[in-house]
Amino acid sequence: MVLPVTPAASADTPIARAAQAAVVARSGGDAWPRPSSCRVLTIANQKGGVGKTTTAVNLAAALAMHGSRVLVVDLDPQGNASTALDVDHRSGVPSVYDVLVEERPLSAVIRPVEGFTHLYCAPASIDLAGAEIELVPMVARESRLARSLAGYDASNIDYIFIDCPPSLGLLTVNALVAAPEVLIPIQCEYYALEGLEQLLRTIDLVRSHLNPGLSVTTILLTMYDSRTRLASQVADEVRDHFGSVVLRSVIPRSVRVSEAPSYGQPVMTYDAGSSGALAYLAAAKELAGRNAQMPAST
Ligand code: ADP
Ligand code: MG
């Protein structure tokens, strides 16, 4: 599609911003170090609205814009990550549902994300809502995603991010069994730490029974509001408790971040110069900087 360029199209109009962002996304930035083998990170927190999807989509986009090849696996029946990446996820399209329930190869449902050279998405359709129940009587019901990933040739992929639903049900357990790394986004607000214990207990259980290599490698503080003392108190508490696992970069609360999905874009391209995009860029760079320390995934 050719967009008409009129003198009125200043950088402040949505079209001009999108055009500008698209140029950045296509040309890419400087190349960051890539891991020696594919890193698989599950993005989990059973609380809804803490920034799991936003984090999955924007870390993936930032890494892809800097030379990495990245796959986002959408494991939430709501399909928010698929929406944010503008990947079709209407009921019936090949999706993660087919992978988990019908044992379709992962490669058969992966779609390229438009505007990026090496960003891919395995979409979630609403059919996945039924999988939580359909999986119950199945053999190795907790390991179906892990098996699918084991059969997927990830030699051309540097990072896989698995975006979890807001629960600790079978879908999230599948994600925890499938990845060596867990990334927990924590929202900087009062109830942030409530429920974290339950998540950590679930991770421990999965580690002892199903995935001995599992560890929480990354915590990201999200929706930080620098105007409130509470936000800095929560951030301090998380850092005291979890130490160096917590990324130094903190994601601020930013309107641009919340607008981006309705344009089918990560904030990284929707408004690359916004505070939210710059923070995700810094967080992604930190994540890439930790490549050498990470255990090689299988
Ligand atoms: P989750 O996947 O954990 O449910 P989301 O990533 O969908 O959380 O975020 C919840 C809501 O908050 C979404 O509407 C999203 O656009 C918005 N949001 C996420 N991060 C930010 C941020 N840093 N600033 C403002 N809004 C945000
Ligand atoms: Mg989500």
pLDDT in tens, 262-281: 999 999 999 999 999 999 99
Q: What is the atom index within ligand 1 of the atom nearest the CA of 48? A: 4
> How far is it, in rounded angstroms, from Cα 186 to Cα 222?
6
Write out the residues surrounding ion ligand 2, Cβ under 5 A: 52-53, 80
Residue 122 CA to ligand 2 centre (angstroms): 15
> How far is it, in rounded angstroms, from Cα 98 to Cα 150?
16
Look at strands 246-252 and 111-112 and give their pairing: unpaired
Domains of the chain and any CATH numbers:
34-289 (3.40.50.300)
Per-residue model confidence (pLDDT) at position 28: 59
> How far is it, in rounded angstroms, from Cα 170 to Cα 117?
33
Mean pLDDT of 112-120: 96
DSSP state of 291: G
Q: What is the atom index within ligand 1 of the atom nearest the CA of 279? A: 23
The 10s digit of each residue's pLDDT in 6-64 is: 333 344 566 665 555 555 555 557 899 999 999 999 999 999 999 999 999 999 999 99
Helices and strands of the chain, counted as H and E runs: 12, 8
- H/E run at residue 229: helix 229-242
Per-residue model confidence (pLDDT) at position 291: 81
- The ligand 1 site (C-beta within 6 Å) comprises 48-54, 80, 166, 222-223, 251, 253-254, 257-258, 261, 276
47, 50, 54, 280: residue to mutate for ligand 1 pocket, most atoms within 8 A of CB: 54
